[in-house]
């Protein structure tokens, strides 16, 4: 069965420190990969996506992610976080159709 695993449910981090959120998915021939952010009581906002091409993808708000086909991973990183980055982050995968499968989410809490 196809699955998306976010390895960390909660990530506390100090302001201006780097953060990495891990995402692994079950293997397939072709995948489209996404990271979304959700602020409290709001919908989801797209941070970045990988469809094809360069495996290093840059997104909004200073985030980037790297697609690693051999490890079936799509980890999200930011070199220096701000208090405003406190939110829920979801990794999502599409296996060539219109549907998105979401990971369980990672709660990032940035402390001063």
Partner 1 sequence: GAVVSQHPSWVICKSGTSVKIECRSLDFQATTMFWYRQFPKQSLMLMATSNEGSKATYEQGVEKDKFLINHASLTLSTLTVTSAHPEDSSFYICSAQGQGVTDTQYFGPGTRLTVL
Q: Looking at beta carbons only, is 42 or 80 nearer to partner 1? A: 42
Judge contact between 24 and 83, C-beta under 8 A: no
Smaller CB distance to partner 1: residue 17 or 104? 104
Shortest separation between residue 108's beta carbon and partner 1, angstroms? 14
Residue in the structure block whose two tokens are 């051999």: 70
C-beta of 22 vs 49, nearer to partner 1: 49
Task: Indicate the burial class of 34 (C-beta count within 10 angstroms; 0-12, 13-18, 19 or more).
Answer: buried
- Write out the residues near partner 1 by the rule CB under 8 A: 32, 34, 36, 41-46, 49, 51, 90, 94, 96-105, 107
């Amino acid at each position: 069965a196809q699955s998306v695993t976010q390895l960390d449910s909660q990530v506390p981090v100090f302001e201006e420190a780097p953060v990495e959120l891990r995402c692994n998915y079950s293997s397939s021939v072709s995948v489209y990969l996404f990271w979304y952010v959700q602020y409290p009581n709001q919908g989801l906002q797209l941070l970045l996506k990988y469809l094809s091409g360069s495996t290093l993808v840059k997104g909004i708000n200073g985030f980037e992610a790297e697609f690693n086909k051999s490890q079936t991973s799509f980890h999200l990183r930011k070199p220096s976080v701000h208090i405003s980055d406190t939110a829920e982050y979801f990794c999502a995968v599409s296996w060539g159709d219109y549907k998105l499968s979401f990971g369980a989410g990672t709660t990032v809490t940035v402390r001063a």
